[in-house]
């Protein structure tokens, strides 16, 4: 039994089997799990984390009950679901419906389509949320605090409110939220169930007041009222970044990068290979920059780091191939006019020391998502950058709300505007660069993980609004 239970689809560590059959814990993927795990560690909080068993080693471990993670005070309890139920809940509902809806990625002429197959997937999503509800009820001690994360688990709030009114619960959404009009795209009973589920939590938190207010409006449109809400912006984890930046692996990657970029000015981006990250328009903006400014040809390069994500979904595979194809086409177009050197360096490996090396080296960091809950790259880059680097930031990233007066803002669909912002950044006088870069670094650690966690947990309440039940 635990006094603090954290639930998220993905665990803080992913378990893999060694050759001798023993089990090894490796840092978990995605942005959410490492941030929340680091926050628990920095705050010195003991907790039990409930997550889905995904790998074969995790399915084996799930049968053994509670596991130690290797992080002091953090244990792990895995939820086992049959593969079909999990695929429907994760691929069809969480990733292909809610993720698309919250990030404004639907193409209304064709998608979404809510047919019988989709309705069956929604049933699976209910089952998956119910399985988390069961595990949390088993593991939470009397009057414990429960923090549930993200769009995978919205229905858990109602389950806990009904079965365990002694618990203090809080839900945190790490993504944006849909507007009332966007939420209205969901089938009627589904949007009602979604808001009703979230309203079961003691409070619902978001990275910025922008997503908080969207949620309030959407909830009011669906249910006539909204539950308690709050905004708690998450900052960068200085300790983790400093440690990686000082590592020999990072020094080695930086030396390799210096070799590749030579004396060119360096634009960097670092993202998951993800539709909402807007990689294609980033390349088109770079193309427009080289068109507009001939003197930059051969003197500027674009290091685009984009590591694989959600490759079980056809859209993600197609997006990856489109991204790689566009980068190759532009390199073919520009290399002959850039002294024979391809100006785009696209790296698809998932290697954090390489990412931190790129952060240390950039002159301009491009963060241009279509929409993003926070986007920690916009904060992590400035924290370790060594070149008075500037930030070109989408006005649709949550981070922009905190950085709008120091970053160069862009409208993410406007490639011409993005190219112009890159040009402005490259032209900025040294003194102004220094000032902005220092200010970006200073703001990056506001909402550092331990204080963010304390803030989030301070909103946990015994029970949500049950009026909708």
Q: Which residues bind ligand G6P (CB under 6 A)?
A: 9-10, 29-32, 150, 174-175, 309-310, 373
Beta strands 344-347 and 140-149: pairing type? unpaired
Residue 447 and residue 439: Cα distance in Å, rounded?
A: 15
Residue 301 and residue 458: Cα distance in Å, rounded?
A: 45
Burial of 284 (0-12, 13-18, 19+ CB in 10 A): middle
Beta strands 204-206 and 229-231: pairing type? parallel
DSSP secondary structure code for residue 296 in this structure: G
Query: Which H or E run includes 125?
Result: helix 116-139
**Residue 29 or residue 298: which is nearer to ligand G6P going by CB?**
29
**Residue 9 or residue 437: which is nearer to ligand G6P going by CB?**
9
Adjacency order of strands within the sheet including 2-7: 67-68, 74-79, 47-52, 2-7, 140-149, 168-173, 204-206, 229-231
CB of 274 to ligand G6P, least distance (A): 8
> Sign (positive/negative) of CA torsion 182, 183, 186, 188?
negative
**Residue 205 or residue 373: which is nearer to ligand G6P going by CB?**
373
Residue 93 and residue 79: Cα distance in Å, rounded?
A: 18
Residue 91 and residue 249: Cα distance in Å, rounded?
A: 35
Residue 341 and residue 132: Cα distance in Å, rounded?
A: 52
**Residue 32 or residue 410: which is nearer to ligand G6P going by CB?**
32
**Residue 105 or residue 251: which is nearer to ligand G6P going by CB?**
105
Which tokens belong to 129?
């949320």
Three-state DSSP class for 299? coil
Q: Which residue stretches of 335-374 are H helix?
A: 352-361
CB of 394 to ligand G6P, least distance (A): 15
CB of 293 to ligand G6P, least distance (A): 34
Angstrom CA distances, 145 to 158, 201, 218, 379, 461, stand at 15, 11, 27, 29, 8
CB of 59 to ligand G6P, least distance (A): 17
**Residue 218 or residue 234: which is nearer to ligand G6P going by CB?**
234
**Residue 251 or residue 308: which is nearer to ligand G6P going by CB?**
308
CB of 198 to ligand G6P, least distance (A): 15
CB of 273 to ligand G6P, least distance (A): 11
CB of 151 to ligand G6P, least distance (A): 7
Spatial contact of 294 and 334, defined as CB atoms under 8 Å apart: no
Choose among 462, 467, 380, 431: nearest CA to 160. 462
CB of 116 to ligand G6P, least distance (A): 25
CB of 338 to ligand G6P, least distance (A): 34
**Residue 27 or residue 30: which is nearer to ligand G6P going by CB?**
30
**Residue 6 or residue 330: which is nearer to ligand G6P going by CB?**
6
**Residue 9 or residue 212: which is nearer to ligand G6P going by CB?**
9
CA angle 139-141-144, nearest 5°? 105
Choose among 426, 407, 105, 103: nearest CA to 286. 426
**Residue 31 or residue 353: which is nearer to ligand G6P going by CB?**
31
Three-state DSSP class for 461? strand
**Residue 310 or residue 436: which is nearer to ligand G6P going by CB?**
310
CB of 31 to ligand G6P, least distance (A): 3
CB of 378 to ligand G6P, least distance (A): 13
CB of 382 to ligand G6P, least distance (A): 19
Please state whether the peptide bond connecting residue 112 to the residue before it is cis, i.e. omega within 30 degrees of 0. Answer: yes
Spatial contact of 76 and 52, defined as CB atoms under 8 Å apart: no
Instruction: Compute φ and ψ for 48, nearest 5 degrees.
Output: -110, 130
């Amino acid at each position: 039994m635990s006094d603090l239970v954290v639930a998220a689809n993905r665990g803080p560590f992913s378990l893999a089997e060694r050759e001798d059959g023993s089990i090894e814990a490796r840092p978990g993927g995605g942005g959410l799990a490492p941030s929340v795990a680091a926050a628990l560690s920095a705050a010195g909080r003991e907790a039990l984390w409930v997550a889905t068993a995904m790998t074969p080693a995790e399915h084996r471990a799930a049968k053994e009950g509670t596991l130690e993670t290797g992080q002091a005070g953090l244990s792990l309890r895995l939820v086992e679901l049959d593969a079909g139920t999990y695929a429907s809940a994760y691929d069809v509902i969480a990733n292909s419906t809610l993720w698309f809806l919250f990030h404004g990625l639907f193409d209304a002429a064709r998608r979404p389509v809510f047919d019988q197959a989709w309705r069956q997937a929604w049933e699976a999503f209910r089952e998956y949320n119910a399985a988390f509800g069961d595990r949390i009820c088993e593991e939470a001690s009397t009057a414990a605090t429960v923090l549930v994360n993200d769009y995978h688990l919205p229905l858990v709030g109602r389950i806990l409110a009904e079965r365990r009114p002694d618990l203090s619960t809080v839900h945190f959404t790490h993504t944006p939220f849909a507007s009332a009009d966007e939420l209205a795209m969901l089938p009627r009973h589904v949007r009602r169930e979604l808001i009703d589920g979230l309203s079961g939590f003691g409070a619902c938190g978001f990275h910025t007041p922008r997503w908080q207010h969207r949620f309030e409006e959407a909830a009011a449109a669906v249910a006539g009222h909204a539950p308690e809400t709050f905004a708690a912006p998450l900052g960068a984890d200085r300790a983790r970044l400093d440690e990686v930046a000082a590592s020999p692996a990072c020094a080695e990657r930086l030396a390799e990068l210096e070799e590749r970029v030579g004396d060119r000015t360096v634009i960097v981006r670092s993202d998951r290979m993800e539709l909402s990250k807007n990689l294609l328009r980033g390349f088109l903006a770079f193309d427009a920059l080289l068109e507009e400014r001939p003197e930059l040809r051969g003197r500027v390069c674009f290091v685009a780091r984009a590591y694989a994500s959600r490759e079980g979904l056809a859209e993600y595979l197609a997006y990856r191939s489109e991204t790689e194809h566009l980068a190759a086409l532009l390199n073919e177009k520009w290399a002959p006019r850039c002294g024979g050197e391809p100006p785009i360096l696209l790296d698809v490996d998932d290697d954090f020391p390489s990412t931190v090396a790129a952060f240390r080296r950039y002159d301009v960091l491009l963060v241009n998502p279509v929409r993003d809950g926070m986007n920690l790259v916009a904060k992590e880059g400035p924290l370790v950058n060594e070149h008075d680097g500037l930030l070109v930031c989408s006005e649709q990233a949550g981070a922009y709300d905190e950085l709008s007066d120091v970053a160069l803002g862009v409208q993410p669909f406007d490639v011409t505007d993005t190219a112009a912002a890159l040009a402005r950044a490259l032209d900025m006088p040294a003194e102004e660069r220094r000032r902005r870069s220092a200010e970006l670094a200073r703001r990056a650690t506001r909402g550092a993980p331990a204080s963010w966690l304390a803030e989030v947990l301070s909103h946990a309440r015994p029970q949500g609004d049950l009026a909708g039940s």
